[in-house]
C-alpha cells in the first residue's frame, strides 16, 4: 500500500471482517492502524472508551488512516461478558451526553424501529418471507412498533460481540470497532448482550451494575430488539450462504418467541 513506502510503516493484517485493520511497525514503534474508521473515534478516545487516538491522516488513495496506541491484551470470554465491569462501561456509553452530541455532530444515524423492520423486509428472499416462524415474528414486531418509539435515543455500539471488547494487560476494559455506531434505543445493545451472554437469572443483578432495573417496559423492549436483531442476522447469513449459522439464528428465534414468558 502507498503509505508503507511514504511513511516507512510496515503493515501486518489483524483480525476483522473488513480487511482494513493492521498492526503497524516502524523502528521501535507499534500502532494499531485502520483505514476509514468512524470519525466518532476521536470522541471515544477522549472518553477512554477506546485505546488512545495518536494521529489521523489522509493517504494517497484518498482513504483516511487512523493510528491508535497498540495495547497488549485479549478479547473477553463469554463468562466475562456478564461481569459488572462490562455493565458499567455500557451504562457510561449509553448515558453520556457528550458522546451523544459528538456522534450527532459527525452525522451519526438515528435508527428507528420502523427502519429496522424496513431493513429486514427490503429484498427479503422468498424462502424467508414464506417461513412460518419468521412471518409470525415480523407480524408481532410490526404490531408492537409504536410501543418502541417512546424512548430517547442514545449512543449504541450496534455490534456487542465479545471479540469487540479488549481487556488490556493493565486490566483496562475498552470497547472497539465502532463502525456500526448509531443513535438508537439502548435496548438494541442490551438485547444483544443479555440474550447472548448473561443467564436470565442474572439479568436483574447485571442491570443493577448498569444502573437500571428490569421493569416490564424494559423487558418488552429487550425482547423486541432481540427478535429484530436475530431476524436481520438470519437474513444476513442467508445472503452469505452461511446456512449453518442461519439455522442457529432461527433456533434462537424460536426459543425467544415461544419461550418469552418463561425467558423472563
Residues annotated as part of the active site: 159
Strands 64-69 and 154-156 turn out to be unpaired
What is the phi/psi pair of residue 230, to 5°?
A: -70, -30
Whole-angstrom CA distances from 116 to 49, 104, 192, 230, 252 are 26, 19, 15, 11, 19
- The set of residues, in sequence order, having a beta carbon less than 8 Å from that of 39 and lying 6+ positions away, is 106, 107
- Do residues 41 and 52 lie in contact, with contact meaning Cβ atoms separated by under 8 Å? no
Whole-angstrom CA distances from 152 to 95, 155, 160, 184, 219 are 11, 10, 20, 8, 17
Distance of CA 200 to the CA centre of its chain: 20
Amino acid at each position: 500500500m502507498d503509505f508503507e513506502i511514504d511513511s516507512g510503516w510496515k503493515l501486518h493484517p489483524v483480525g476483522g471482517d473488513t480487511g482494513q485493520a493492521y498492526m503497524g511497525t516502524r523502528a521501535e514503534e507499534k500502532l494499531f492502524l485502520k483505514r476509514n474508521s468512524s470519525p466518532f473515534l476521536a470522541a471515544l478516545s477522549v472518553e477512554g472508551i477506546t485505546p488512545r487516538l495518536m494521529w489521523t491522516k489522509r493517504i494517497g488513495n484518498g482513504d483516511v488512516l487512523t493510528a491508535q496506541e497498540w495495547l497488549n491484551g485479549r478479547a473477553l470470554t463469554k463468562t466475562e461478558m456478564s461481569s459488572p465491569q462490562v455493565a458499567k462501561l455500557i451504562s457510561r456509553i449509553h448515558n453520556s451526553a457528550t458522546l451523544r452530541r459528538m456522534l450527532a455532530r459527525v452525522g451519526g444515524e438515528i435508527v428507528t424501529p420502523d427502519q429496522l423492520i424496513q431493513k429486514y423486509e427490503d429484498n427479503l428472499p422468498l424462502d424467508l418471507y414464506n417461513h412460518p416462524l419468521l412471518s409470525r415474528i415480523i407480524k408481532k414486531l410490526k404490531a408492537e412498533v409504536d410501543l418502541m418509539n417512546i424512548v430517547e435515543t442514545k449512543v449504541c455500539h450496534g455490534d456487542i460481540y465479545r471479540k469487540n471488547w479488549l481487556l488490556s494487560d493493565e486490566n483496562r476494559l475498552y470497547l472497539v470497532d465502532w463502525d456500526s455506531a448509531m443513535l438508537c434505543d439502548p435496548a438494541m445493545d442490551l438485547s444483544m448482550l443479555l440474550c447472548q451472554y448473561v443467564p436470565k437469572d442474572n439479568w436483574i443483578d447485571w442491570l443493577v451494575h448498569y444502573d437500571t432495573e428490569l421493569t416490564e417496559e424494559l423487558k418488552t423492549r429487550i425482547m423486541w430488539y432481540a427478535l429484530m436483531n436475530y431476524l436481520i442476522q438470519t437474513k444476513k447469513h442467508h445472503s452469505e450462504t452461511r446456512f449453518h449459522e442461519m439455522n442457529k439464528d432461527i433456533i434462537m428465534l424460536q426459543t425467544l418467541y415461544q419461550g418469552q414468558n418463561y425467558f423472563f
